[in-house]
């Protein structure tokens, strides 16, 4: 029984490690996407193309709203 419990803890630890690694990859991917959006926005501003600036800015705002929604749902789960 003690051995089973130890094995179970080890399995859980490995599963949690895998989950953390997956989450880290997701966060890294999101960071890169956000950096790319800001670079696109800077290029649009430099080009002085009003439509491109508005489109890039809208993408950034949309991304922020999605992040905000995710955070709100996480807070609600914790409450």
pLDDT tens for each residue of 3-51:
677 777 777 888 888 889 998 998 899 899 888 888 888 888 888 888 8
Residue 63 exposure: Cα atoms within 13 Å on the Cβ side: 15
Residue-number span of the structural domain to which 20 is assigned: 2-78
C-alpha 57/C-alpha 45 separation (Å) is 10
Non-local CB neighbours of 44 within 8 Å, separated by 6+ positions: 52, 53, 55, 56
Structural tokens at position 78 = 């914790």
pLDDT given for residue 25 in this prediction: 92
**Domains contained in the chain, number:** 1
Model confidence, pTM: 0.59
Per-residue pLDDT for 1 more than 70? no
Per-residue pLDDT for 2 more than 70? no
């Amino acid at each position: 029984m003690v051995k089973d419990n130890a094995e179970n803890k080890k399995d859980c630890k490995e599963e949690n490690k895998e989950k953390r690694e997956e989450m880290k990859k997701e966060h890294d991917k999101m960071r890169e996407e956000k950096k790319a959006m800001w670079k696109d926005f800077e290029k649009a501003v430099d080009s002085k193309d009003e439509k491109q600036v508005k489109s890039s800015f809208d993408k950034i705002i949309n991304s922020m709203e999605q992040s905000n929604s995710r955070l709100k749902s996480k807070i609600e789960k914790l409450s």
